Structure 1
Amino acid sequence: MINVGIIGEAKDTVNENNIAKTLRSGELNVYATPSMVALMEEAAYKSVQSELEDGKGSVGTVMNVKHLSSTPIGMEVTAKSELVEVDRRRLVFKVEAFDERGKIGEGIHERFIIDNEDFQKKTDNK
């Protein structure tokens, strides 16, 4: 049973692979918004994965975030998630990201619990 209040965390270091210039989300050598979003999603999905039945997983369906501040190459970024709502298979998380100087992002992320095998088969048959 998944309950409100589960906390998650994921970390990343800004490098040539996760900057805006590399990911085509801008021209600067700063932590890319898509990288921040992926880190937030990682914190959320990993926080609940061990609570799910074998063969179950979760997929992201909504990500509504603000990227508040830029982060340079070399700095560590930490994403945090908190499960704030459970509605049957729908999970809602408050997500935030921080670099070594403070908060760089915040928002809401939704995931749905799925059967991994069924979901993969459905996708493969598109």
Structure 2
Amino acid sequence: MAGVDHTYENFATTFPDGRVATCAACANVNDADFGQRVIRSRAIDMRFVLDQLTGPRPVWKGSALSDPARIAMAGQSIGGAAVPETMVQDARVHAGINLDGSLFLPIPDSGLARPFMLMGAPRTTAPGNAIGNA
């Protein structure tokens, strides 16, 4: 299992050499396409992480413990929203779970060829009026 945090999207990331990267994305959070840009960026990040963990020269000493045929991805909120886009871009992700994340980018009309779970509460317009419910 690996946890991933996305540099430049949080308050601060401190690297082993002492450098600190601050939140560059925070200045753009109100942009109309912010969600789509973050999701695309995170999918690229996840492909890089998978390359580093399972590629021909993995950087993690325990990489032999990973089974590339059993890679799944789960995330919550915007992390969950990045799961289906990562699955579209990278067939190494064999299953995914989006925990309460909006879908900023559409899932292809053909769907996903691998298991994907979208879990969350229904959106509402007013108390008791769930969108999509009669």
Instruction: Give the TM bin, normalised by the shorter chain.
Output: 0.3 to 0.5
The normalised TM-score by structure 1 is: 0.33
Structure whose residues are more often helix by fraction: 2
The normalised TM-score by structure 2 is: 0.32
Larger RCO, structures 1/2 (Cα 8 Å, 6+ apart)? 1
